[in-house]
Structure 1
Amino acid sequence: MLLQRCSKIQFVIVIIIFSMAVHFHIPVQASMYPLQTKYPDIMLYKGKTDKKVIALTFDDGPDQRFTPQVLEVLKKHNVKATFFLLGTRVHKYPEMVKRIDREGHIIGNHTYWHPDLTKTGKQNLAWEIEKNEKELKELTNNVTDLFRAPYGAMNEDLVEKLGEMGYRGIGWSIDSEDWKSLTPEKIKQNILNYVHPGAIILMHSAGHWSQDLSGTAEALDQIIPYLKKKGYEFVTVPELWS
């Protein structure tokens, strides 16, 4: 009983530390991400490396407002990123999907309707992925095995289902919080204050019509050359994983 109680207490402590790290944007070791620790072949939140490599990731695209701005900045600095695309927008903006693919970026699956999967369950997870996968197959030559859950909301049942489907789940270790329509300076601070080797940075290339994401591309245009001067190399998620 005592051993069981201690084990439970240790688990609670880990969860509290992890929650605080996420809330305050404190970069933590990969071992502090419970799902990555338990399912290292399925989940990735932070690369296990001391090399100065970083993966830029963009959620919720594509659109015709902000996605082109992001793509232009990436092209300017010769950086490849990973885009987690939403099925409804893939259907609406097929030419933008083709452009992302044509310009050499990696495409990941971000569900079709953007639900909180921890509330809708693993059967809905399968439907969302397969629906979006069908849209992507019609537009790109490369079928993705990368998945990011809306809101980053995952649990063990969902991770195991993801693994059964042959997908790998991608989280993040730095949240730019650009979805809050922040200024370029604030977005830069949210990234540069917590940058670390093996980081996966969460940004957005589209959002709700009321969100102003113009700060994303502006911040990106300053962050990339700054971090390159600091010795960082920008890689895609598959490159970071390997």
Structure 2
Amino acid sequence: MKNPAKRSLTTGERTGIGAFILAGFFFVLWGTVWSIFPLAGFVLLCLVAPFATGYSFFLPVICRGARKGICVSLSFDDGPDKVTTPLVLDILRSYQVKATFFVTGENARSHPDLIARILAQGHTIGNHTYSHDPLIMLKSRRHLKDEIIKTQEVLGGHGIRPLVFRPPAGITNPKLGPVLAEVGLKAVNFSCRAMDRGNRRISGLASKILGRVRPGDIILLHDSKPLTEMPDNQFLSGFLTELERVLKGLESQNISVMPLAELIGQPVMEEADPNEASL
């Protein structure tokens, strides 16, 4: 009988151990004052690390593709949205591009027809929590797990089981790794974004993406309509124009758009029994 594989230490755990060893070394040589510096540096790193969306500090995070070649993947967060998502799907179909939609359970429950359409068009779906609570990483492990499981259950009703999870805004914490391991998900963030604040800043979105994009990138976009005073028609006109510019710009740079699963070399969802939509 094989022994179960041991969990390897995270970067954060290794850094913490190193900081304590260094602090002890400094204490022996120079006393208490100097020993504070490695520990203070570790604390500061722990405060900054959650916002470094491409840094695997607390847990392994996939943010780029390992595949060689001039290719990227598109991902859309925060949907599905009854106004924006159908139009996004129309554009993706016209360009024959497949994307991954990181949906919230709340929106998926409200718009089952859009989930069905996303899947029917050959796109994939990831878990983006149930309510997209921006403060979720400050809440309990139980709350975080419940948010993820509720979304899995909603999507299970559509006959799929997401295998990837993207935290709101890409923010991580020490609790996330154990929760994802328990639920059977992997963290997937992004490596190229326009800092659009959930489509609140769409002006120049395409030029920002195209100026930063590199082969292997996972591009972050949103298919949600922001809560702003901007009229729907004005927002949609600007957003859809920017999205088409992104796709045309990638074509002009000879950058292929491929499904996320192919870019990262592992599946992002699998089939599930809709009659057993629970974990």
Scaled to the shorter chain, the TM-score interval is: 0.7 to 0.9
Q: Which residue of 2 aligns with 1:27?
A: none
Give CA deviations for 1:13-52 in whole Å, capped at 9, x if unaligned: x959x98x96xxxxxxxxx9431x7744xx2112234422
Q: Which residue of 1 aligns with 2:145?
A: 126
- SS of equivalent residue, structure 1 residue 34: coil
Residue pair 1:51, 1:197 contacting (<8 A) in 2 also: yes
State the Cα distance separating 1:211 from its structure 2 match. Answer: 7.1
Q: TM-score, normalised by structure 1?
A: 0.81
State the Cα distance separating 1:164 from its structure 2 match. Answer: 2.3
Residue pair 2:78, 2:104 contacting (<8 A) in 1 also: yes
Give CA deviations for 1:97-139 in whole Å, capped at 9, x if unaligned: 110011000101111111233211321121011111111111x
- Cα gap change, 1:8 to 1:188, in 2 (>3 Å): farther
- Cα gap change, 1:95 to 1:216, in 2 (>3 Å): same
Residue pair 1:84, 1:148 contacting (<8 A) in 2 also: yes
Residue pair 1:49, 1:197 contacting (<8 A) in 2 also: no
Which of 168, 186, 192 aligns to 1:150? It is 168
Q: Which residue of 1 aligns with 2:245?
A: 222
- Cα gap change, 1:15 to 1:73, in 2 (>3 Å): farther
Amino acid at match of 2:180: L
Give distance in 2, aligned partners of 1:188 and 1:228. 13
Which of 153, 158, 167 aligns to 2:185? It is 167
- Cα gap change, 1:120 to 1:72, in 2 (>3 Å): same
Q: Which residue of 2 aligns with 1:29?
A: none
Q: Which residue of 1 aligns with 2:55?
A: 34
Give CA deviations for 1:132-189 in whole Å, capped at 9, x if unaligned: 1111111x222111111112121132123212211011111112233253345x1012
Which of 96, 117, 123 aligns to 1:78? It is 96
Give distance in 1, aligned partners of 2:20 and 2:104. 47
Larger Rg, first or second structure (1 or 2): 2
| 1:58-77 map, 5 Å | 58-77=76-95
Give distance in 1, aligned partners of 2:143 and 2:225. 22
Q: Does 1:236 align with 2:259?
A: yes
Residue pair 2:54, 2:190 contacting (<8 A) in 1 also: no
Which consecutive aligned stretches of 4+ in structure 1 deviate over 6 angstroms post-superposition? none
- SS of equivalent residue, structure 2 residue 74: strand
Q: Which residue of 1 aligns with 2:12?
A: none
Which of 72, 90, 96 aligns to 1:54? It is 72
Amino acid at match of 1:64: K
Give CA deviations for 1:28-81 in whole Å, capped at 9, x if unaligned: xxxx9431x7744xx211223442221111111111111111111100100000
Identity within the alignment, % = 28
RMSD: 2.9
State the Cα distance separating 1:237 from its structure 2 match. Answer: 2.1
Which of 85, 88, 100 aligns to 2:118? It is 100
- Cα gap change, 1:62 to 1:211, in 2 (>3 Å): farther
Unaligned runs of 5+ in 1: 23-31
Amino acid at match of 1:232: I
Q: How many residues align?
A: 224
Give distance in 2, aligned partners of 1:150 and 1:2. 32
